[in-house]
Every structure is written in structure tokens, then in C-alpha cells.
Amino acid sequence: MTILFPFAEYWWFYAGFTAFVMVLLLLDLGLFHRKDHAVGFREASLWTLAWMALAGVFGALLYQYTANQFGTVVASRILLEFATGYVVEESLSVDNMFVFVLVFQYFGIPPKYQHRVLFFGILGALFFRAVFIAIGSALIQYNWVLFLFGAFLIYTGYRMFRGSPEDIDPGDSPAIRIVRRLLPVSEELHGHNFFTRIHGRLHATPLFLTLMVLEMTDVVFAVDSVPAVFAVTREPLIVFTSNIFAILGLRSLYFLLAGAVGKFHLLHYGLAIVLVFVGLKMTVLNWAFGGHFPIGISLAVIVSVVGGSIALSLLYPKKADEHVAPEVVLSDNEPG
């Protein structure tokens, strides 16, 4: 399959898009979230809509450019691939929120500092996603890699059926052991600082430990999500942009849904089905349909499965005696 947007010809777009994203992030932290505060439901809703609208505008511009270069038929396919990749990444990101809740509660991070941690976590996520996508785009040229990625996604989906994000113990993260070997860690938070000096010696704070655990968690999730989007499209540009837009909206979506994330107890089963489906699409289904399973059907299946798992979670809530994922800590008091 011919790549429509090879990096050698579109390096200028990658550079410009990355610069644009960095400007957005600088405006976000330096202007809109300059002061530490707990992000409320209304603010999170507006930001979530804004990031989704921005992704929609990009999709429309991408369609127009592709239509001018390659025709409307190809443009429609590219737009569907972008939308499907965005939905896949955003859906898998919702599963990340279970982990975010657990990590923030484990370290006792007040809500007013959580946005700062997620902001810097996103910077690391952008870097690692770019690395994984570059590696994936280089490997995806070989047909056997497609089957390897597909088998991995099917296996990951099977494991997701067997486990749950609630089973994760943040205290077992290798990130904590690595940081503690390199630096002493303060017992208390020191405002929004990641580092502080105690008796003249540099210490990491619990906020920095939280950031490192979230970064390592995102690397683990990227190992699943990047191949999942490559199952939808062979275009690295589509994989890159759909990943970035989904990650940009992850913080506001977290603050919007974190308080209710425990209600979506069936979501990880739906995501498991999605991973198995895209794994089959990458291997068996593409082969059965002459090399490319219809992207419109793929989008319909993914949206139906994810939406259905959320709806069933709300229709059939957990019983009171079942283990429920912890809610976001609502107190602004710092520990210690």
C-alpha cells in the first residue's frame, strides 16, 4: 500500500504541527492554568469540547487538502482513518484514567496540583509516542510485522479480559525504585515543585514520583495504543496526529470523568474487544477483504463496542459490596 504522506516529503508538516502543539501547551500552562487550582466540572467540560473541536477542525482541513491532492474518494478514506484512530486512542485513554485515579490517591496529590502533573506527563507522552510511531512506521513496511502487531493486540485484549486497571499497585512501579536510587525523596509535598532542597541537599518530592509513575504507565499503554492505530491506517501522519489530539484532550477528559470513572466497570471489557478486533483487522480481516477491511465498518464497530460497554456499565452498576475504583481526592489539603 502506497504511503500518501511520506515523512521525507512532509517533514515540514511534522515540524509545523509539533510547533503548533507546543504553542498550545505553553498557552495552556502559562496563561490559562498559571495559578494552581482544582479543575471543576464546567471548566473541564469546556476544555474537553475545545480539544475535540480542534481535532474536528484539523480533520476538515486534512480532508480538504487530501481532496485537492488525491481526490474526494481518497480524502473520505483518510478522514475516516483519522476519526477512527482518534476514537481508538481516546477510548484507550479513558482506561488510563483508572490508573490516574489510583496514582493520585496513592501519593495523596491534591486536585489543585493534578493538572500540573498531567501537563508535564503529556510532554513526556508526546515524546514517547513520536518515538514509537517512528519505529512502527519503519517496521510496518514488512508484512510479517503486521501479523506480529496483530497477534500482540489480540493477546493484549485477552489479558485485558483477565485483568483490570484496578489491580494495579502504583507502589510496585519501577519508576519509584529508580528515583529513590538516584535521589532522596521528601516525605511531604512542597507546593507544586517537583524538587526541593532539604538541609542543602536536593530531594525529589512526591509530586515528581507521581509524574514518573504516570510517565511509565503511559509508555506501557503506548505499546498497545500505537499498534492499535496502525491497525486502522498505514499512514504515520494519521497515527501521529490522531494520537496527539487524543493526548491533548486527555487532561480535561480526566477532570470531567474522574469522579465517575468507577462507574464504567465494564469499559475494559469493551476495550479488550476493540483490541482483539483491530488485531484481527490487521491480520485476518484485511487479508480476507483483499488487503483493506472497510474503514467505515471498523469505525462503526469500535464506536458501538465502546459506547455499548459504557451504556451497560451505567445500566447495570456494580453492587455495593463489590470493589469500586477509588474516587479523586477532593480535599485540597497537602499531606503531612
> Cβ neighbours of residue 8 under 8 Å, at least 6 residues apart?
none
pLDDT exceeds cutoff 80 at 301: yes
Q: Is there a domain that residue 29 lies in?
A: no
Average pLDDT over residues 244-273: 81
Residue 26's pLDDT band, with cuts at 50, 70 and 90, is confident
Q: Is there a domain that residue 25 lies in?
A: no
Average pLDDT over residues 211-228: 82
How many Å separate Cα 41 from the centre of its chain? 20
Q: Is there a domain that residue 332 lies in?
A: no
Average pLDDT over residues 236-241: 93
In percent, the amount of the chain with pLDDT more than 70 equals: 88
Nearest to 96 by CA among 232, 239, 258: 258
Check: CB of residue 123 under 8 Å from CB of residue 25.
Answer: yes
Q: How many domains does the structure of the chain reveal? A: 1
Nearest to 115 by CA among 170, 174, 61, 37: 37
pLDDT tens, residue by residue, 64-77:
999 999 999 999 99
pLDDT at 72: 94
Distance CA 258, CA 48 (A): 13
Q: Which domain holds residue 152?
A: 39-315
Distance CA 80, CA 121 (A): 29
